[in-house]
DNA sequence: TCATGAACATCAGATAGTCTGATGTTCATG
DNA sequence: CATGAACATCAGACTATCTGATGTTCATGA
């Protein structure tokens, strides 16, 4: 709760006080500030009315004015206020550029490992003073909640966002089959060949639901013998021969020789990776730029991916 | 030199921003601040014009407004500005009371030893946060110069101050004769008895000139065989029998049994101790109070002195 | 002693900003 | 679809501030 006594104080008054104290006379201060002497006289009078005491002694005649001890106190505080206002102005400018502030991003595992590293590196390189934070959750609903609550400014989402959000499509992430090498011949595997195959998957949320739905639609009602949140665990289970897995491409460690991956036929509808924000809310320039950069990085990623699949 | 861009910013705008951000709606902010909703709307619009961006997202309909990221930056800085303005207000109040600030006092040796200790103790007791400084000089001209230059706020002066100053009389400090015990019979000594007597004195400035002039006027043209700035040295020379000295009473260490002091007849015009400040200059409340206290302390001292002489 | 000029104060009028009160627009809710 | 909450806008009154002209004070120098 802020006081009421100086509510009518304007920065202009303090700028004038400073100018007069620096220049020594009302006239020169007027010249410096582009006012007339009369205006300065009236402004100082207004300031004195506001603070309740004379801030200058006017010796009269052709002698310059001089700060009173009281005026000196006002001036010292006034200069602090002005320099705070200046730094506010500077920071607003930098903020308009995306250069300062805090950007909190919602994300989930595969984006965190495949997209964020280079994206954050680019943002940091452009704006070293921007504070970038992340909140990771495997669950789209949770990410939507964080976004709605304003706990994150933007969030990657593995699918279409809930209503009340706007989003931008970044990437189609195809589902691929993960199996032991030799379990299937090289090349695409038909969904019908998976009927009855024990499967490893993630807990039933977000893209896992999408993928199970697609499989059923394609005529394969999968049986899950193991579910884990952790993609590494899923891969390990597949390596051990416990079953096969269908995962979005971005979840894979494609260099692992102990695993083979196959395209599926028919192709399942891919997981769509988007970045979302609250509808109607003004985004910070940093967030706007982040979205642009994310789009660029994902385009690059899409090109790399199409070389693999 | 302060920037120009936010010169039209008023603290009122920031108070309003804070109120709306806290209350959540323009209407409640209006109620809190005693305005109408329309006024709040216009003030926020003015603020947005000044900073160049929207500070609130207005979702429309019956939903409350919400800060934009930009508005959040403005608010954070604005609150700092407001709290600075508050602390300025507080300090001005304390200053009006004499409680803060710096008070620099010009002084000379006998005042420093006889008057200042208890005076400074009283001021400190009343105003623990007031910073009290002193500048000592044996020469009234130097003290006047310090005063004129504003290097001291008030100054004790051993006589009438130069023109351009106002002063307050504090004390009449009588000149007394200092001699070896037995050199003169107890009681008053006639000035005529000092003719031809070798004398010890101070260098020819300030009260020393006053005292020599008075002696000559009383028919005694003194011969100085030793001059020292330091009253201790003068006393030592008298003790050693080199001569006698005429000094203001306040310069004496009256407990020294190796020295006798005598009133003079006729009584020489006393040294007048005053406290001076620049004419026409507003004094700080602390300085005003210091002058009052000095006056009190010196009244007490005058009573003590009259018991001795 | 007096004219001069520097420096601040004051006044009147024009202008611009801000407040109030009434009215308009938007939109979630039932 | 009517209601009501919430912000925007508008007109009019009022106030503050600026300009330009004029007044007052006072150190200086002829």
pLDDT at B3: 61
> Are residues A298 and A164 part of one domain?
yes
- Please give the backbone phi and psi of residue B77, each rounded to the nearest 5 degrees, phi first: -65, -40
Kindly report, residue by residue over B148-165, the tens digit of the pLDDT: 888 899 999 987 777 788
pLDDT at B4: 62
With an 8 Å Cβ cutoff, are B96 and A70 in contact? yes
For residue B2, tell me if it sits in a domain: no
Measured CA to CA, the distance from residue B36 to residue B5 in angstroms comes to 28
For residue A5, tell me if it sits in a domain: no
Which of B23, B50, B75, B85 should be substituted to probe chain A, the one whose Cβ sees the most A Cβ atoms within 10 Å?
B85
For residue A249, tell me if it sits in a domain: yes
Kindly report, residue by residue over B99-131, the tens digit of the pLDDT: 888 999 999 988 998 999 999 999 999 999 999
pLDDT at A138: 85
With an 8 Å Cβ cutoff, are A69 and B101 in contact? yes
pLDDT at A1: 67
Half-sphere exposure of B234 (CA within 13 A, CB side): 24
Kindly report, residue by residue over B247-256, the tens digit of the pLDDT: 999 888 777 8
For residue B43, tell me if it sits in a domain: yes
* Spans in chain A with pLDDT lower than 50: none
pLDDT at B230 over 90: no
| CA-based torsion, A141, A144, A150, A154: positive or negative | positive
Residues 4-23 of B with CB under 8 A from A: 5-12, 15, 18
For residue B6, tell me if it sits in a domain: no
pLDDT at B198 over 80: yes
Residue A42 contacts B where some CB pair is shorter than 8 Å: no
Evaluate if the CB of A12 falls below 7 Å from strand D.
Answer: yes
> Are residues A282 and A262 part of one domain?
no
pLDDT tier, B57 (very low <50, low <70, confident <90, very high otherwise):
very high
Q: Considering its fold, how many domains does chain B have in total?
A: 3
For chains A and B, CB pairs below 8 A equal: 141
pLDDT at A4: 61
Q: Which nucleotide is nearest to B63 (CA to C1')?
A: D6
pLDDT tier, B1 (very low <50, low <70, confident <90, very high otherwise):
low
Q: Which residues of B touch A81 (CB under 8 A)?
A: 81, 84-85, 88
Token pair of A266 as six digits: 């028919």
pLDDT at A255: 77
> Are residues B258 and B201 part of one domain?
yes
> Are residues B277 and B168 part of one domain?
yes
> Are residues A73 and A18 part of one domain?
yes
pLDDT at A154: 94
- Residues B85, A9: contact at Cβ < 8 Å? yes
For residue B4, tell me if it sits in a domain: no
Residue B266 contacts A where some CB pair is shorter than 8 Å: no
The Cα of A83 is separated from the nearest Cα of chain B by a number of Å equal to: 7
Half-sphere exposure of A82 (CA within 13 A, CB side): 23
Token pair of A136 as six digits: 């990771």
Evaluate if the CB of A304 falls below 7 Å from strand D.
Answer: no
With an 8 Å Cβ cutoff, are A66 and B95 in contact? no
For residue A1, tell me if it sits in a domain: no
Which of the two residues, B138 and A55, has the higher pLDDT score? A55
Mean pLDDT over B202-216 rounds to 79
Residue B104 contacts A where some CB pair is shorter than 8 Å: no
The Cα of B113 is separated from the nearest Cα of chain A by a number of Å equal to: 28
> Are residues B106 and B86 part of one domain?
no
CATH number at residue B37: 1.10.10.10
pLDDT at A106: 95
- Residues A74, A56: contact at Cβ < 8 Å? no
> Are residues A239 and A108 part of one domain?
no
Evaluate if the CB of A309 falls below 7 Å from strand D.
Answer: no
pLDDT at B91 over 70: yes
> Are residues B242 and B159 part of one domain?
no
> Are residues A180 and A39 part of one domain?
no
What angle (nearest 5°) sits at the alpha carbon of residue A108, between those of residues A102 and A109? 120
Mean pLDDT over B58-79 rounds to 90
pLDDT at B280 over 90: no
Residue after which a domain boundary falls, among B96, B128, B155: B96
pLDDT at B216: 83
> Are residues A241 and A226 part of one domain?
yes
For residue B159, tell me if it sits in a domain: yes
pLDDT at B213: 81
Compare all CA atoms of chain B with the CA of A68 and give the residue at the minimum distance: B282
> Are residues B258 and B285 part of one domain?
no
Cα dihedral B56, B58, B59, B61 in deg (nearest 10): 150
Residue after which a domain boundary falls, among B96, B116, B151: B96
Residue ranges making up the domain that contains A293: 102-172+272-308
CATH number at residue A304: 3.40.190.10
Q: Which nucleotides of C are covered by protein (CB under 7 A)?
A: 5-12, 17-22, 26-28
Residues 6+ apart with CB under 8 A from A199: A222, A223, A224, A225, A243, A244, A245, A246
> Are residues B160 and B280 part of one domain?
yes
| CA-based torsion, A87, A92, A97, A101: positive or negative | positive
Token pair of B166 as six digits: 């106002």
Q: Residue B230 carries which DSSP code?
A: -
Nearest to A157 by CA among A270, A293, A274: A274
Mean pLDDT over B45-54 rounds to 92
């Amino acid at each position: 709760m802020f006081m009421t006594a100086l509510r009518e104080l304007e920065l202009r008054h303090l700028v004038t006080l400073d100018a007069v104290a620096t220049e020594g006379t009302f006239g020169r201060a007027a010249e410096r500030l582009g006012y007339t002497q009369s205006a300065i006289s009236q402004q100082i009078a207004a300031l004195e009315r506001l603070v309740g005491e004379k801030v200058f002694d006017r010796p009269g005649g052709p002698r310059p004015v001089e700060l009173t001890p009281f005026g000196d106190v006002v001036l010292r505080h006034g200069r602090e206020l002005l320099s705070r206002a200046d730094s506010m102005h500077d920071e607003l400018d930098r903020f308009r550029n995306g250069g300062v502030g805090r950007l909190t991003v919602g994300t989930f595992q595969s984006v965190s490992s495949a997209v964020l590293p280079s994206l954050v590196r680019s943002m940091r390189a452009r704006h070293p003073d921007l504070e970038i934070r992340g909140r990771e959750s495997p669950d789209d609903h949770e990410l939507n909640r964080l976004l709605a609550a304003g706990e994150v400014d933007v969030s990657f989402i593995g699918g279409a966002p809930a209503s009340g959000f706007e989003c931008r499509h970044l990437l189609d992430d195809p589902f691929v089959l993960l199996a032991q090498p030799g379990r299937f011949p090289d090349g695409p595997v038909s969904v019908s060949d998976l009927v009855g195959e024990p499967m490893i998957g993630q807990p039933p949320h977000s893209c896992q639901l999408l993928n199970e739905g697609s499989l059923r639609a394609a005529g394969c009602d999968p049986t899950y013998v193991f579910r884990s949140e952790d993609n590494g665990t899923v891969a390990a289970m597949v390596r051990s021969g416990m079953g096969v897995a269908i995962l979005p491409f971005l979840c894979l460690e494609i260099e692992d020789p102990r695993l083979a991956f196959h395209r599926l036929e028919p192709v399942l509808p891919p997981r769509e990776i988007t970045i979302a924000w609250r509808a109607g809310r003004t985004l910070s320039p940093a967030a706007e730029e982040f979205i642009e950069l994310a789009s660029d990085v994902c385009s690059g990623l899409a090109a790399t991916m199409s070389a693999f699949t």
